[in-house]
């Protein structure tokens, strides 16, 4: 069960079905309540019309025994005086509730007296019971003789007429009769139609709603399955790539413009970047192994010769190989830290002062510029300037110029030499690891080919750039651009 509802497809289907179910229940309840209220209101209107008709006859002095409203088969009627005494009721009325008067048999004295006629005194007494006073004042609810009260009051109840018991909507209407005083007419209208209509609607909902929910669930299941089919294809291909470790493979990209297509494109871009990173790491390990092999082999040879023939020991060569091996190991360690995403420190560094420190002791190097501060690692930035100066010294003829200046929100450090320069086709390739141009193939002259690669990686980690171009004197010009201290630093590239 947990596995079934653990899929997106199952959860989407369940969620859609639940939402529709709640909406249908709410809508169904609203329809049933509205239908019931409308039908109950119609029954109340019919009951009021029946009560108004009987009240009109009473206002016209019609004797109780001759009221036509008492003969209706489906309309139970009660006539009550202001003392709550039942004066008349429908002929076949056997039981009634909801009107406040449970009696169904009129009082013999009241009904007989009305049929025989009333004398003036009785009329005066009833007139006094109507609530009117002898003086000019009138009560708020007083009515003139023959006047019927506006509106009616409604109640629900039951009545048994000729052996049939049903639910009714009762309306109570008051009338001021000329000869009997204030009377109240209770008339009912059956609610059988309301019950039947509400029952039919409820039955239809109980049958239709499950069918509709089944259709919604089926459609949602099919639609989500169709929409998620490319995701399953991506998952299978990723599983195959993981199993085969073949990063050249790519996941299928659906020919759509939705989120799944963007997911597939992003996944393929990630695979391409991962493939490039792995390939770069493989080349790095191979090149590092090759570069380390030479000084180690040379140093071993010298030590073996020295062990057999101490007088032939080349001490200067052994020291030189050891230093070269130490520098290479330091370069490899720094590149490994940079590849691991090491963030530079937030120390403020004066590039002009740092350039003068790195240029100290070097021949033919001139530093020009103002104090410009950036935020970063002083050691790593010093390594960048040292590598640029080492590269310039290997190629310069007579002069190296270092300039430090501001350009907008950036600090710019330029290292120019008067050598042969770098060809346009090689100005990006020289920043690759272990790359040495033909003019600098000798390890004695060109090193291991890591200096410029390290310089660019450090620049990128500091939110800046390092580019190669042509110097005014005809040699090479390397420009280091870094954001000034306090300026927003862009996201470094990987």
DSSP string, 410-461: EEEEEEEESSS---GGGTTGGGSTT---GGG-SHHHHTTS-HHHHHHHHHHH
Contact 416/475 with Cβ under 8 angstroms?
yes
Burial of 15 (0-12, 13-18, 19+ CB in 10 A): exposed
pLDDT at residue 110 in the model: 52
| Least confidently predicted of 228-232, 276-280, 285-289, 453-457 | 285-289
Taking the alpha carbons of 104, 110, 114, 120 in that order, is the dihedral positive or negative? negative
Q: Can you tell me the mean pLDDT for 357-374?
A: 92
Residue partners of 205: CB distance under 8 A and separation at least 6: 24, 28, 32
b/e per residue, 83-102, with b = 16+ CB within 10 A? Answer: eeebbbbbeebeebebbebe
For the chain, how are helix, strand and coil distributed in percent, rounded to 5?
A: 55, 20, 30
Q: How many CB atoms lie within 10 A of CB 305?
A: 14
Number of Cβ atoms within 10 Å of the Cβ of 9: 19
Cβ-based burial of 111 (10 A; exposed 0-12, middle 13-18, buried ≥19): buried
**Higher model confidence: residue 408 or residue 229?**
408
Average pLDDT, the chain: 84
Instruction: State the pLDDT confidence band at 141, using cuts at 50, 70 and 90.
Output: low
Average pLDDT over residues 348-377: 93
The closest of 437, 441, 365 to 401, measured between CA atoms, is 365
427: left (phi over 0), alpha (psi -120 to 50) or beta: alpha
Element (H, E) at 332: helix 315-339
Strands (E), 260-408: 347-350, 365-369, 373-376, 400-407
Query: Which is it for the CA torsion 303, 308, 310, 312, positive or negative?
Result: negative
Q: Is 330 helix (H, G, I), strand (E, B) or coil?
A: helix
Range with lowest mean pLDDT among 25-39, 121-135, 196-210: 121-135
Domains contained in the chain, CATH given: 1-244 (no CATH), 247-342 (1.10.287.130), 344-483 (3.30.565.10)
Yes or no: say if 467 and 384 are a contact pair by the CB < 8 Å rule: no
What was the pLDDT predicted at 405?
A: 95
The percentage of residues in the chain with a pLDDT greater than 90, rounded to a whole number, is 46
Confidence of residue 443 (pLDDT cuts 50, 70, 90): very low
Q: Which two tokens stand for residue 299?
A: 């140093």
pLDDT higher at 320 or 428? 428
**Closest Cα partner for 419 from 441, 393, 390?**
393
Tokens of 127: 């007139």
Read off the pLDDT band of 314 (50, 70, 90).
confident
pLDDT at residue 469, as a whole number:
95
Q: Give the pLDDT score at 219.
A: 93
Instruction: For residue 166, give every residue at least 6 positions away whose Cβ sits within 8 Å of its Cβ, in sequence order, or none.
Output: 158, 159, 190, 191, 192
Q: How does pLDDT run across 229-249, given as a tens digit for each residue?
A: 888 888 899 999 889 888 889
Residue predicted with more confidence, 104 or 72: 104
Give tens-digit pLDDT for 20-78.
999 999 999 999 999 999 999 999 999 999 999 999 988 888 888 888 888 877 789 99
Residue 263 and residue 258: Cα distance in Å, rounded?
9
Assess whether pLDDT exceeds 70 at residue 98. yes
**Which residue from 153, 147, 42, 52 is spatially nearest to 99, judged by alpha carbons?**
153
């Amino acid at each position: 069960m947990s596995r079934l509802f653990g899929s997106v497809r199952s959860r989407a289907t369940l969620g859609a079905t639940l939402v529709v179910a709640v909406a249908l229940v709410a809508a169904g309840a609203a329809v049933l309540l509205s239908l019931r209220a409308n039908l109950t209101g119609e029954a109340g209107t019919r009951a009021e019309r029946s009560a108004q008709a009987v009240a009109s006859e009473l206002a016209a002095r019609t004797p109780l025994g001759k009221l036509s409203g008492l003969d209706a088969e489906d309309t139970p009627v009660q006539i009550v005086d202001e003392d709550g005494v039942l004066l008349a009721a429908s002929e076949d009325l056997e039981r009634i509730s909801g009107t406040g008067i449970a009696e169904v048999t009129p009082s013999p004295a009241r009904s007989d007296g009305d049929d025989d006629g009333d004398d003036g005194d009785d009329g005066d007494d009833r007139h006094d019971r109507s609530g009117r006073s002898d003086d000019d004042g009138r009560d708020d609810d007083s009515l003139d003789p023959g006047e019927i009260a506006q509106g009616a009051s409604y109640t629900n109840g039951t009545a048994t007429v000729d052996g049939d018991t049903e639910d009714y909507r009762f309306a109570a209407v008051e009338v001021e009769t000329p000869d009997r005083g204030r009377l109240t007419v209770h008339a009912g209208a059956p609610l059988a139609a309301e019950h039947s209509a509400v029952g039919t609607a409820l039955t239809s909902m109980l049958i239709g709603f499950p069918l509709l929910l089944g259709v919604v669930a089926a459609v949602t299941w099919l639609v989500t399955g169709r929409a998620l089919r490319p995701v399953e294809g991506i998952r299978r291909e990723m599983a195959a790539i993981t199993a085969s470790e073949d990063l050249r493979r790519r996941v299928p990209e659906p020919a759509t413009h939705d989120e799944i297509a963007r997911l597939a494109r992003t996944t393929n871009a990630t695979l391409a970047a991962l493939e490039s990173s792995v390939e770069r790491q493989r080349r790095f390990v191979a090149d590092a192994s090759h570069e380390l092999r030479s000084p180690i082999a040379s140093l071993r040879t010298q030590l073996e010769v020295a062990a057999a023939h101490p007088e032939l020991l080349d001490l200067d060569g052994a020291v030189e190989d050891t230093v070269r091996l130490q520098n290479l190991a330091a370069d490899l360690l720094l590149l490994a830290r940079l590849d691991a995403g090491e963030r530079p420190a937030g120390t403020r560094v004066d590039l002009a002062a740092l350039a003068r420190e790195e240029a100290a002791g070097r021949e033919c190097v001139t530093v020009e510029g103002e104090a410009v501060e950036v935020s970063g690692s002083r050691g790593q930035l010093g390594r960048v300037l040292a590598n640029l100066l080492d590269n310039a010294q290997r190629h310069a003829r007579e002069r190296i110029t270092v300039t430090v200046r501001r350009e907008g929100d950036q600090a710019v450090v330029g290292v120019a030499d008067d050598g042969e320069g770098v060809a346009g086709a090689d100005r990006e390739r020289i920043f690759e690891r272990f790359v040495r141009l033909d003019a600098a193939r000798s390890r004695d002259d060109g090193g291991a080919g890591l200096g410029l690669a390290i310089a660019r990686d450090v620049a990128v980690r500091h939110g800046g750039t390092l580019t190669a171009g042509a110097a005014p004197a005809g040699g090479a010009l390397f420009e280091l651009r870094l954001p000034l201290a306090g300026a927003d630093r862009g996201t470094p590239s990987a």
